[in-house]
């Protein structure tokens, strides 16, 4: 088996097939940070013709927003000194050590439109024909990041809702506790007085309010689970508005 793998690994056709079927975008830059080769996933991700990629500096080839807006070459924009991708490329070239799973969050110009992209990339040192190169493996994790952001927003809204519900429940509970404690210690005759009846009525109304509030909270959970069932009823809208 190993001899077959060795033979295949020496085949340019086989290597090209492997590289072009990988979902990650791969591209090779030389010691001047110019792109010398790329795979199909790279072409699909950035949607550029070959003449706008090969021989171009890394940032220009991938449509970095700073190179486009400032109309400058990669390495001379206002952001290049802070660019993590460029830093990792130069570090790998100088130390010959790989850098793994770094994050790159930035706007890119693709087909004339600006997109916010979230990438995870690794850099690997390669020597080919006596020339130093860096292979960049670029994974587009934009959809995953956006989903996580959406989940964070929903979770924050849920926490705010539960916080308000807890606050709205605390006051009625305090009222029920206070009134029931008073009635517990009061003579039984008090229950027959107007004051006693008013206290009992308040306890009942407050309990109903709490039950409705809890129903609303449970309805939110039902909506989130996608199992809500609408119960339609005829209503007199004029009476409702009055």
What is the per-residue pLDDT across 52-93, written as a single tens digit (0 to 9) for each? 999 999 999 999 999 999 999 999 999 999 999 999 999 999
CB neighbour list of residue 146: distance below 8 Å, 6 or more residues apart:
118
pLDDT at residue 16, rounded to an integer = 56
Q: What is the pLDDT of residues 160-183, one digit of tens each?
A: 777 777 777 777 888 888 878 777
pTM: 0.61
pLDDT at residue 127, rounded to an integer = 86
- Residue ranges of E strands in the chain: 25-30, 35-38, 99-110, 113-128, 131-140
Q: What is the dihedral of CA 208, 210, 211, 217, to 10 degrees?
A: 150
Mean pLDDT of the chain: 82
What does the block give as tokens for 54? 């090969």
Whole-number Å distance between alpha carbons of 191 and 77: 82
DSSP codes joined into one string, 80-116: GGG-HHHHHHHHHHHH---EEEEEEEEEEEETTEEEE
Whole-number Å distance between alpha carbons of 2 and 15: 16
Q: Is 61 exposed, middle or buried (0-12, 13-18, 19+ CB in 10 A)?
A: buried
């Amino acid at each position: 088996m190993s001899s077959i793998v060795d033979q295949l690994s020496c085949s340019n056709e086989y290597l090209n097939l492997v590289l072009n079927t990988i979902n990650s975008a791969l591209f090779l830059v030389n010691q001047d940070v110019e792109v010398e080769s790329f795979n199909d996933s790279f072409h699909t991700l950035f949607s550029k013709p070959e003449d706008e990629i090969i021989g171009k500096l890394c940032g220009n080839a991938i449509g970095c927003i700073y190179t486009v807006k400032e109309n400058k070459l990669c390495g001379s924009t206002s952001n290049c000194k802070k660019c993590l991708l460029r830093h990792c490329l130069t570090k790998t070239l100088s130390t010959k050590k790989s850098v793994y799973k770094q994050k790159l969050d930035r706007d890119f110009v693709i087909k004339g439109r600006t997109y916010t992209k979230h990438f995870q990339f690794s850099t690997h040192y390669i020597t080919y024909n006596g020339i130093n190169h860096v292979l960049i493996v670029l994974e587009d994790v934009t959809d995953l990041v956006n989903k996580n952001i959406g989940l964070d927003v929903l979770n924050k809204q849920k926490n705010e809702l539960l916080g308000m519900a807890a606050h709205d429940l605390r006051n009625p509970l305090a009222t029920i506790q206070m009134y029931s404690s008073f009635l517990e210690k009061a003579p039984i005759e008090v229950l027959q007085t107007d004051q006693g009846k008013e206290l009992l009525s308040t306890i009942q109304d407050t309990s109903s309010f709490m039950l409705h509030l809890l129903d609303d909270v449970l309805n939110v959970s039902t909506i989130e689970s996608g199992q809500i069932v609408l119960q339609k009823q005829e209503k007199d809208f004029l009476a409702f508005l009055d």
